[in-house]
């Protein structure tokens, strides 16, 4: 697992050069616009709703003693919850809507890495790719929210709970971010369920890719601009290598 996480991170090395070499920047124009608009809307919403969430949580404390302290803690936790949910929504929205634009990018990277111009891929249209992206990300969004809510409750445990919650939440968000990036390549090779099984076998790769994805979002403005080009390129490189590796192993098994 650790080794695969490191591979997922290391794949970002040389992504700028690869994008420029294959002249891929033009494919990212619309996804970058989607990313900026989505980030702006969710950011403004998070800013407006954090205090409301804090006051809502504070209503649980019905006693007068410690009310002010609990309200302060609740406002802080409310802010974390809004940011966490905002990040979850952000990444799944941009990944779903960007799917038809990212598929050509991953295909060009695959052609470059394998040297094969004509692949026996699944033939999918713009509409198919968009629907696939929406379907995968709705599925991942539902699962991530179910896992995230109990993790956020750890924040009510002083100090240790805050640290544990942040680390686990970061890893969960990283996994699903990497999952979405890997599917841009897997979409051409596997059906819906087969892709889910494939990513399940390489969770570390998905987490490593997603960790850098999530860290990019901490960089103001530049982060939301570069996060998709770099993460999709890195993920495509790793996923193509994994597909070639599995294909090689399968061929060896048949020969034996």
What are 208-245's pLDDT values in tens digits? 999 999 999 888 889 989 999 999 999 999 999 999 88
CA distance linking residue 166 with residue 193, whole number of Å: 30
d(CA 212, CA 150): 24
User: With DSSP H G I counted as helix, E B as strand and the rest as coil, what are the percentages for the chain, rounded to 5?
Assistant: 85, 0, 15
pTM for the whole structure: 0.83
| Model confidence pLDDT, tens digit, residues 126-136 | 888 888 889 99
């Amino acid at each position: 697992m650790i080794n695969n996480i490191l591979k997922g991170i290391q794949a970002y090395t040389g992504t700028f050069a690869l994008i420029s070499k294959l002249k891929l920047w033009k494919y990212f124009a619309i996804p970058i616009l989607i990313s900026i608009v989505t980030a702006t809307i969710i950011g403004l919403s998070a800013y407006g709703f954090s205090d409301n969430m804090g006051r809502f949580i504070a209503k649980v404390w019905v006693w007068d003693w410690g009310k002010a302290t609990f309200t302060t803690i609740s406002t802080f936790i409310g802010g974390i919850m809004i940011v966490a949910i905002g990040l979850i929504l952000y990444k799944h929205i941009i990944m779903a809507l960007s799917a038809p634009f990212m598929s050509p990018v991953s295909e060009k990277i695959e052609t470059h890495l394998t040297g094969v111009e004509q692949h026996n891929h699944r033939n999918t249209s713009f509409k198919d790719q968009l629907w696939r992206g929406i379907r995968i990300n709705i599925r991942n969004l539902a699962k991530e929210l179910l896992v995230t809510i109990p993790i956020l409750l750890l924040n009510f445990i002083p100090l240790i709970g805050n640290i544990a919650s942040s680390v686990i939440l970061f890893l969960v968000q990283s996994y699903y971010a990497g999952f979405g990036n890997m599917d841009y390549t897997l979409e051409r090779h596997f059906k819906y369920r087969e892709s889910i099984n494939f990513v399940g076998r390489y969770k570390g790769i998905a987490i490593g890719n997603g960790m850098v994805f999530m860290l990019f979002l901490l960089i103001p403005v530049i982060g939301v601009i570069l996060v998709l080009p770099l993460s999709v390129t890195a993920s495509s490189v790793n996923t193509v290598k994994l597909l070639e590796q599995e294909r090689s192993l399968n061929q060896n098994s048949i020969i034996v």
